[in-house]
Chain A
């Protein structure tokens, strides 16, 4: 027993209590109440929920870990959000209005309704659920690492994953989205405070100032302060920035967080504030830089531990416990939102649309509540047991989500240009490119051996998206042309 363990346990109990208490005053939660809070969240709660979802364990461990291992290319993490928020200023109110008019609850609902196709709904749902498996795996793995590191190994990763999965299932079944939102309030404030503190204190403590820290890094590891020529170079940086900003809102749990807003203005205020909240990522970069010369021997995937190791070698156990507890909350908020969305998608889109079209809303709500623990159990199984093929498929699905960009973009037009068939064709084309690069070993360098480095370093995800967009536009245009020709032929006959 030590101080950090006690504090982490207190954080877990606190999260459970807050999550369960969020139910107060609501006798029976309909599916709409449970999944999207009855669309009644004001500006502040919408902001906290969307910030809570956006700043996951990836931001907590990845921002500092990437800076520690790769240096300057990591800065894309600070920028892609800003570009996404500019797009979101117009996109989110449009999505929200459409979802409200048609009572949409899940991610796939949007695409099924816009393209007026049950098949699209079921297909998007399957991809979305698989993608959410991999997203939840990432959150649970991150959580396991944080809790076991920060409890000095007293809680094993597996125990941490089991306990937190049970906690999430408990408060999500009872309170639904209100549970995530209540925890997000504490988590967002805590993580912002910690990031600012760590990002200022650690460079000052170890180096006496920011300038001194960078001067020392420049003397020992100058490559970390310069954009590399190969690998993560300028064209990788720019293409990744484009890809990630376009795909920013295409995560099922992020997309449906839009539905919870009370009005369109709450969403607009939200995207005005979000870039400012991003500042916490800049402080995490500084933590990563501070770790470069003070934390030794982290290689490969272990570089994600940079922040945790530096905190452990600098601060007393009670403070380590607070950082561990904050890390726990950072995984719980997005993790529980993913579970919620997966279960709503399974119930509404896969169960009702695929198998039981006559199911009533109450039945769907019941199925969703049964699906939630089952989905979580499956994910915990894959986290603990591996299952490489399935996990690879889940990761592949999460990269497929970005391939919905052309479909989404076309859905905003006054007279939507894209057709169902074009959507299938485009996503298939993008999927083939992604599949070839992840399993076939294809890269731009092997496909175009004589092309310059600036071209061959482009992120493969963007190449896939480009192929997708070309096919999407081509098929839509061809169908439009054919239909026009048939119409004139009929008209003249």
Chain B
């Protein structure tokens, strides 16, 4: 559970630091820094949620097979 909370905290840290970072570097490769940053974190958020989803379904599968095994 702890790992999942740490993972979930990452998008918050990433997206909240974007504004302050953008104050120092407005442009990156000729494109607004904040746009690149937010897009990166958008993809990262999807990846992190997908990872948490995998962890959860693995645990649920383990739980249900453990329960099925116990009842036999």
Contact = CB atoms under 8 A, between A and B. Distances in A.
A242 B46 CA distance: 19
Interface in B15-71: 15-16, 18-20, 22-23, 26-27, 29-32, 34-35, 38-39, 41-43, 45-46, 48-50, 52-53, 56-57
B15 A79 contact: yes
B43 A83 contact: no
7 contacts: A72-B34, A79-B42, A214-B31, A241-B15, A241-B19, A268-B53, A272-B53
A202 to B, nearest CB: 15
Given A72-B34, A285-B35, A234 B19 contact: yes
A275 B45 contact: yes
A285 B19 CA distance: 17
For chain B, the bracket of interface size reads 20 to 34
Interface of B: 8, 11-12, 15-16, 18-20, 22-23, 26-27, 29-32, 34-35, 38-39, 41-43, 45-46, 48-50, 52-53, 56-57
Contact of A218 (B8, B27, B49): B27
Contacts of A279: 39, 42
- Which of B18, B30, B38, B49 has the most chain A CB atoms inside 10 A of its CB? B49
Classify the interface of chain A: helix, strand, loop or mixed.
helix
A211 B31 contact: yes
B19 A227 contact: yes
Given A75-B34, A234-B23, 9 more contacts: A72-B26, A83-B11, A86-B49, A89-B8, A89-B49, A227-B26, A275-B42, A275-B49, A282-B35
A82 B29 contact: no
A328 B18 CA distance: 34
Contacts, number: 93
Contacts of A273: 46
B29 to A, nearest CB: 7
Contacts of B32: 72, 75, 214, 225
- Which of B23, B43, B45, B53 has the most chain A CB atoms inside 10 A of its CB? B45
Contacts of A218: 27
Nearest to B34: A75
Contacts of A268: 53, 56
A154 to B, nearest CB: 37
- Which of A83, A225, A268, A275 has the most chain B CB atoms inside 10 A of its CB? A275
